[in-house]
Amino acid sequence: MRIVAAIGAAILGICFWAGQAAATEINFMTWGGHYLDTYNPLVEKFAKQTGNKVNIVVMSGAKDGLTKIMAQKDDPQVDVWLSIESTAAEAEQAGLLSDLRPDLMPNLAALPKGYIGKQTVVMTLSPRGIAYRTDLVPFEIKDWTDLWDPRLKGKIGMSFVIDTGTPVIMAALLAGGSEKNIDPGFEKMKALKPNLAGFFKTDQESVKFLESGDFAVIGYAILANFYLKMQGESSDVKFVMPPKPKFLASIPGAVVKGRGAEREKVAFQFLDFLLSPESQEWVTSRFGQVPANPKAKLPETLAKVIPPLPLTDVYHVDWNVVNANYPAWNDRWNKEIQTQ
């Protein structure tokens, strides 16, 4: 009996360690702050369902994430990456991403074809607009042009790095230009300087400065950063999505190349897990983002903030033009706008 028990224990031990060996650990890079609070429960749920562990790696912004992935090209440390369109395009051009695996991603079948690229897939769509404190602004902001109202003198916080220079593209479109003719945008931004209270570089800073009252207005804001702050009748935070130009940023997900076949398999499975209706509903209810999967329901609180779906007349930025000109634009911004 002792021999039988010993053999049984040995078999159980072998099975245990075989199970342990079968588990795979991957790294998922996304933004910090509220993103961590939102994705941690999903990571835990994925681990319970599959036995595989997902570690969250924090980036301060999409550009920071791209820089990390490029620096690690010869020894990748990230498996799954969420970013924005411009940085995802750069990563694709640099050969840093793996081709999508539809065989491992059954939820792709539900997505509109325009959301699925060769190496990236739209996970959610993020409304852009203006966030402001109703207790610190003397009128209701409705449009981009309201930013130039003299009543906002010294009240606006602005960023150039958010969405890779899109605030200047917004200004250019108002002045008859575009990303292909950016000069009107810089001239328009120069006219905004009396209303500028300062600048921010990260999502977290935009939230911090609005909460503290250092800025009464975030002149180019991401709804996801302020969505939970807006809940409740007593909230002083309001977000408006101006109708023209209308910016709706795609949040692409991708798998980073070079981490090995097993990690890549789990990475695509995790990406597919994030595209499930249940995961999509959780993320969008927390973030104020539009789900990419049409099978996911839009939260009622979000429907009160953005125009009715489907969102039409959305401006589509030519990211190839932006990426080619961004360094020169950044230098110009520092000299002409950020220097008081």
CATH of the domain at 87: 3.40.190.10
Rounded Cα–Cα distance for residues 109 and 334 (Å): 45
Q: Cα separation of 319 and 211, whole Å?
A: 32
Flag the least confident range among 71-85, 95-109, 254-268, 288-302.
288-302
pLDDT confidence tier of residue 254, bands split at 50, 70 and 90: very high
Encode pLDDT of 77-111 as tens digits.
Answer: 999 999 999 999 999 999 999 999 999 999 999 99
**What are the pLDDT digits (tens) for 2-13?**
444 444 444 444
- Enter the pTM of the model: 0.76
Q: Are residues 183 and 227 in the same domain?
A: yes
CB-based contacts of 235, cutoff 8 Å, min separation 6: 229
The residue range of the domain holding 163 is: 127-248+313-336
The whole-number pLDDT of residue 223 equals 93
Q: Taking residues 18-31, what's their average pLDDT?
A: 78
130 has pLDDT over 90: yes
Q: Which two tokens stand for residue 138?
A: 């003397």
Residues 106 and 29 in one domain: yes
Q: What is the pLDDT of residues 163-215, one digit of tens each?
A: 899 999 999 999 999 999 999 999 999 999 999 999 999 888 999 999 999 99
| Among the ranges given (164-173, 230-239, 279-288), the one the predictor scored with the smallest mean pLDDT | 230-239
> Residue 301's pLDDT band (boundaries 50, 70, 90)?
confident
Over residues 237-247, the mean pLDDT reads: 93
Q: How confident is the prediction for the chain on average, in pLDDT? A: 90
- Let me know whether 220 and 239 are in one domain: yes
Report long-range pairs for 183-192 (Cβ below 8 Å, ≥24 apart). 186/332, 186/333, 186/336, 186/337, 189/333, 189/336, 189/337, 190/336, 190/337, 191/148, 192/147, 192/148, 192/156, 192/158, 192/219
Kindly provide the b/e burial profile for residues 101-136, where b requires at least 16 CB atoms within 10 angstroms of the residue's own CB.
beebbebbebbeeebbbebbbbbbbbbbbbbbbeee
Q: What is the pLDDT of residue 317?
A: 93
**152 and 238, same domain (yes or no):** yes
Alpha helices, DSSP H, located in 193-318: 203-212, 223-226, 261-274, 277-287, 300-303
Both 217 and 97 in one domain: the answer is no
Measuring CA to CA, which residue among 261, 295, 302 is closest to residue 104?
A: 261
Mean pLDDT of 247-276: 96
In a domain, 5, yes or no: no
Confidence bin at 267 (pLDDT 50/70/90): very high
Q: Is the pLDDT of residue 1 over 80?
A: no
Which residues, other chains included, contact 243 with Cβ-Cβ below 8 Å and sequence gap of 6+?
Answer: 143, 307, 313
Q: What is the pLDDT of residues 38-65, one digit of tens each?
A: 999 999 999 999 999 999 999 988 999 9
Query: Into how many domains does the chain fold?
Result: 2
User: 261 pLDDT band (50/70/90 cuts)?
Assistant: very high
pLDDT (0 to 100) of residue 312 = 80
Both 291 and 317 in one domain: the answer is: no
The pLDDT of residue 340? 64
Q: What is the structure's pLDDT at 75?
A: 95
Residue 116 falls inside a structural domain: yes
Do 138 and 185 lie in one domain? The reply is yes
Binning pLDDT at 50, 70 and 90, where does residue 22 land?
low
| pLDDT at site 170 | 98
Provide the pLDDT confidence category of residue 21 given band limits of 50, 70 and 90. Answer: very low
For residues 216 and 175, give the distance between their C-alpha atoms in angstroms, rounded to a whole number.
24
Does residue 15 carry a pLDDT above 80? no
Quick check: is 305 in a domain? no
